[in-house]
Every structure is written in structure tokens, then in C-alpha cells.
Chain A
């Protein structure tokens, strides 16, 4: 038997009330808010967050396969999953692959992962993350939101077994982003809803239920992709599902997150599932993938994690439309009179990958002092080459002191820098993110978050920042 062993999710701290769009543009707006990745977040950094949540209580060194699914990978050529693997400290012997180009990338990665587990490839971590861009003042700009979900697939300790799946493929234009395009484009919706979404999603779900000898009433939750909640409800109800059975699309709280949308809904469904529950998830994009899960007794013994509900609880929805435009670089502002960041060095990044991505420092074996970055000679006792690797990733930390920097280059000035002291020893001076300047104070609890610091020379430069504990 194969299935889901663990799951996790991530919702950005910042949310924009959709009313803010209307206030700026005069357009009518949909209700609710959309989750907005900070300027230093992207699909890769959010995938790392969701994966860390998923691996709560588990060891990344047991992961043998890592798949990343997104329509918004930072590179056309160069894997993104390798960045995620490095940040999660997954062994270099792992098999890693990006799944992209379709809203079904998430479900495709899950299905490929289950096949790999069945074939004996060992546990597979699937991270689904998206940060899609609708053109300013388009309906997609209002509908889209950012977020991620991750699942560990395996054979042992399954919390939800994979009971079956069905897929379909159809050459149909519903939405697309051209190679050189900046934002998602789409066909007139009546066409792709009636001829694509209703037909393929409805048909594939129905075929799966029939194969398993199940009726809609047997399913606890239908985790159904929906271009918007109206079409989702209409399709689900037409198939015989009641409103109580339909998993929330997260439209009001996150928005439509693309390839990670159904995976995030699935994570939310698992957070509320009871052992024995059937959960049916179905995605849409040039066809449909439908996956049937059944929660097991092990679900109850999964260690607590943040998940969708945890991350939704901490957030700020005061951001303005103007800020959103700046973060997505849709509004070009005058740069500060400071040098632009230079691209990081590929050899230096490769050499320092344990520090830069997995956030290892060192600990002196002579005096026990943890230190970051890793040192050859101990900062405390000067012992030479007597260090062990020491992970700072999940160490609780507090702000020792801080400053608000109005002068330095930042995509969202002013930048905040903090001296961060880790429990058990060790200190670093780093940038803060997702941080309310009026609330930051000495002694504030912080945690480390993997971020995209800047892009230079076509290279997305990732490293860790501190954020107020969520």
C-alpha cells in the first residue's frame, strides 16, 4: 500500500484585501483577500516552507526522491528542485525533478511520486508551490493568490492511502502563459468551463468513482479545483455532492494558487479528516487528474504542524495595492542612490552550499560554542579545525538588537536588520522579513525563513532571513 505519510503547507504572511484593488482602480472587486508572497518570496522559497512544515518530526535525510511542481519556477533552464533539496538538506544521492507547465503539475508530481514509491524508489517528497501573476486589473489578478503544500509519500506510516486514480488529457486552451509572457492569459470562460472543466473534471471523477464502486455520498470531502468558487460548486453539485462535502477552494483566504491550489486544499482537508474518510482530489489543466485517498488511523498520531489553518491564523492584511504592484515589479520605482546588488558567484555558492542553503554553522568541539557562519578557528577559544557541523535552521531565536535602514538597497524599504541570538548559543546579523516595524523589539522571538534576497545577472539569490515567529 502506498499513500501520504505526512503533509505540510505554507501561506504567505501578507494578504491583500481585494477591496484594495478596487480602491485603487475603481473596478468592482470580489470578496475576501488574496495571499501575496512578499517581494523576497517565490515558488521556490514557499516550497521550502511547506516542505519544512511537512517534515515536522521527520528527517530529511530519509527522503530519496524530491519533486517540485509549479507553473512559476524561477528558471526556464535550471532545476528549482535542486535549490529546495539543498535548503532542506536532502542527500545528494536523491532523485529530483521539476514538474511544470500545467495547473496539473501538482497532481502529476503526486501521481509520479506514488508510482515511484510503488516501484521501490523509497519515500518521495512532493512540494507544490505557485506564485502566479495576473495582468494588472484583470480578473486573474483578483482571483490568484500565492501558497504551497508538500506531501511525503511512502509505504510506511501512511496517514492517507492512495485508493486509486484516473487521468485524462485534452488539447484545449483554457489558460496559458506564453514563453516570453509576463502574465496568465485565458480564453473566454464559457468555452473552457463547458467544454473543458465540466467535461473532463466531471468525467474523470465520475470514472474513478465508478471504478471504485463508490457513490458521491461515500466521499467525505471532494477536493475539487475551481476556476472560481461558483464553477466549482456548480460542478460538484451537478455530480451529486452536497455543499458540506465540497472542500473550500481557499478563495476568500488565499486565492487561486495554480498548481498548488488543489494540493493546498488537500492539506486543509487532511487537517480536518477522520480515520476512514474518503477524500477525492481532482485537478484541471489540459485534462484532469483525480486521486482517491482514504485517511488511516495513523492520521491522529501525526505530530502537530502549522498546515493551512496554522499559517492562515498569522497574517497581516493591511497591504496596499501599490505595495503589491511594487513587490511584483509591476510598478517601477526609482532605485536608491546605492549600487545595485551584484550577482552571487557560482563557485562561492557551490562551495558554501551547506551554509547558504541548509543553514549549517559549526560548533567548536573544544569549548562547545556554536557559530555562524561555520568557522575554521573558534571565535571563542581559537581552537583550530576542531569543529562539527551545527544546524541553526529550527533553533529558537530572539532579537538581541535591531536597526531600521532607510539607506540601503531594498525592494521594500526600509530594510530591517537584527542581531539574532539562537537558543543554545550562536548569533548572526541578518535581515528581517514579514516584520512590522512598529512591533519589532529587543527580545522578540524570531524564526529563520528561506528567502529570495534578490535577482542579479539572471540568478535568483536565496538565503535565510529572520521573521517574527508565526
Chain B
């Protein structure tokens, strides 16, 4: 009876430790995915404006528009004429400087322009270089007066994205390696606790496949159950954190964009954990159950 209790206790503690481990892993995944989502969202709001010269010919304007529309990195190309720009300007400035609304000479100072965004296909980490290259190539086109894309903001945004991506990669690697270490140690401990059982099975002629199969199953089941429990715990924490920070998140306009892992990621996470359990059991068993393992002690 004590043996059965000991085994149950060992499985319970192993599951508990692995649940904590998978909880950390899935929390890192949720954090990383949401961070990426928010950064992508900010990236989508980046816009470039090509201001056209006062005396640009219709052919040159068409040429610039064609160049932009044919560029795979460019999206949502829009011509903003002088008149349209003036309307937009007046709408924006109405409350700040009402006198400007009456000034018809403004039309002389406001240039027509092409506005466009970067394609969603351009990764966040490459947006700065893509915009810089585009600006350089557009500036030399005849009829282009100036190219603006909020250089300072884009530069800062790009640095944040790069730093987050790099630290995220390092953090993920550390988490995965730690998890592997913990999982293999838990399974190793479970296997060594049952060394006697393996010896007896070898003694009565069990093949390696017969001996190892239940350990593979156990490794997969314990890891699978732990992964599901870990995901459940992470979901609970995510819901609590999101609820308690609702006001702040709404202010930053990101509340609706924060999401838990999608079903495909959840499924991949659970399947991956099953595989991790089998691999850990395989690695641990290989050194123990080698047919001659039943007694390594030297006795004469």
C-alpha cells in the first residue's frame, strides 16, 4: 500500500512541478504574442508622405504613382490634392486657429502629395530600413519636393521592436531550456524510483520495448496533463490581469487587442508537451534499461 501511495505522490509532485513549468512557458508565449500584436498595430499606423513640387507635370505625377503602386512594400497609395489637403488642414486646425479658415492664400502654401503605408508583409524589424530606402529612391524622382515619414518616431519604434525581439528570443530560449531540464529531471526521478520494477521486468524476459512503453506513455500523459493545467492557470492569470488593468489598457487603446493564445497555438503547445514527455523518457531510459542493467553492483 505504501508503494502505491509513494508512486501516486511522486506522480502528483512531478505533475505539480511540470504544471508550474508549463505555466511559465505559456505565460511567456501569451506575453510575446500580445507584445508582437501591439507592436504590429503601431507599425500599421506608420505613414509616408511624398510632397510634390508646385510645378510638377501630370506625367511625373503619374510616374510617381505608378512607381509606388508597383512596389510590393507599399500599400494604400492615395493622392492628396492641394484642395483636399486644405480641407483636411482646416478641419484639423478649426478649433486651434479659427482665423486661418478665412485665409484663401493658404492654398498657395499647401502642396499636393501622395500618402501611403507600408505593406503588412514588411516585418516590424525591417520597417525602418524599408522606409529609409523608399525615401531615398523617391527623393530623386523628378517632381518630388520632400519625403516625410516621421523619421524620429519610426527610428524609436524600430529600436523598441528590435530590443523586444532580441530579448524575447533570449528569454524564450532560457525558458525552453529550463523547462527541458526540469521535465527530464522529473521523469528521471520517476524512472529511478521504479528501477526495481525495471530490473524485475528484465529478469523475466521483458523486451526493451515492453519495458519502455509505459514510461513513454507516462511521460507523455504527465506532460500533457501538466501542459493543460499550466495553460488553464495562465488563462486564469491573463483574465485577472486584463480585468484589473482594464482602464489603463483602454486609455492606451489596446484593450481589445490583448488576446489569449489561439486554438492552433494551444493545440501545438499540448502536442509539443506530449512529445517533450516522450523525448525526456527516451533519453532517461536509454541509460538505464540496456538489458544488462538489472544489476550493475559488483558482488562476488
Chains A and B belong together in one complex: no
Residues of A within 8 A of B (CB): none
Residues of B within 8 A of A (CB): none
